[in-house]
């Protein structure tokens, strides 16, 4: 069954598309303004099979300690550790927190913070520059449970790997999904 080109969480959910793509690829790169453990929990059995996950997140504007002009030097590492350590043992998110913690320790999950400005972009790229089957999704869905399941969103799927991986050679050429 072909994947939908437009993903709105009504006719097709981003969660369902991500699950299928996790089965077909070894690497996932995500850029998102926000993320939550509930999204990881929704995808856990599928995303756990990946060999590499790269997560670029925006600086959380709602946490008081990060309302500084520049984030503290230990953000986001200390915040990840704090959040993961404070998940209630009986919480359904505990398994996701344990997985994220082990992925970070093993190097499977690489987390970076976008500090230049407010990151509003959302993209999910399966594959890498050596892939001949890379797929990209660009749209409005943050990597949160609501963003990938029930919020009214609009995402576009591109399965032409030449478009997804294109690296511009001049200022006038468009960029690919993974080129930045």
Domain 6-164 CATH assignment equals 3.30.870.10: yes
Which 3-state string (H, E, C) describes 16-43? Answer: HHHHHHHHHCCEEEEEECCECHHHHHHH
Confidence band, pLDDT 50/70/90 cuts, at residue 65: very low
Give the end-to-end CA distance of the chain in Å, rounded to a whole number: 31
Output the average pLDDT for the chain. 85
**Tens-place pLDDT, residues 6-35:** 999 999 999 999 999 999 999 999 999 888
Asked whether the predicted pLDDT for residue 141 surpasses 60, the reply is: yes
Q: Choose from 29-43, 70-84, 86-100 the range with maximum mean pLDDT.
A: 29-43
Q: Strand, helix or coil at 95?
A: helix
Higher pLDDT, 54 or 178: 54
Higher pLDDT, 148 or 92: 148
Asked whether the predicted pLDDT for residue 121 surpasses 50, the reply is: yes
Confidence band, pLDDT 50/70/90 cuts, at residue 101: confident
CA-to-CA distance for 22 and 48, rounded, in angstroms?
A: 9
- Kindly state the average pLDDT of the residues 160-168: 84
Confidence band, pLDDT 50/70/90 cuts, at residue 66: very low
CA-to-CA distance for 53 and 28, rounded, in angstroms?
A: 5
Predicted pLDDT at 172: 84
- Asked if 53 and 107 count as a contact pair (C-beta separation under 8 A), the reply is no
């Amino acid at each position: 069954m072909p994947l939908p080109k437009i993903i709105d969480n009504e006719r097709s959910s981003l969660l369902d598309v991500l699950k299928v793509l996790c089965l077909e690829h070894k690497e996932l790169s995500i850029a998102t303004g926000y993320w939550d453990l509930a999204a990881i929990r929704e995808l856990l059995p599928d995303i756990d099979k990946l060999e590499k996950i790269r997560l670029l997140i925006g600086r959380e504007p709602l946490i008081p300690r990060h309302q500084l002009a520049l984030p503290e030097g230990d953000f986001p590492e200390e915040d990840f550790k704090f959040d993961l350590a404070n998940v209630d043992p009986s919480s359904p998110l505990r398994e996701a927190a344990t997985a994220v913690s082990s992925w970070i320790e093993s190097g499977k999950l690489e987390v970076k913070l976008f500090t230049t400005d407010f990151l509003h972009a959302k993209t999910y790229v399966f594959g890498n520059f050596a892939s001949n089957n890379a797929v990209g999704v660009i749209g409005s869905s943050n990597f949160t449970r609501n963003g990938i399941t029930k919020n009214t969103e609009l995402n576009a799927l591109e399965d032409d790997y030449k478009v997804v991986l294109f690296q511009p050679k001049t200022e006038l050429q468009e960029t690919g999904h993974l080129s930045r």
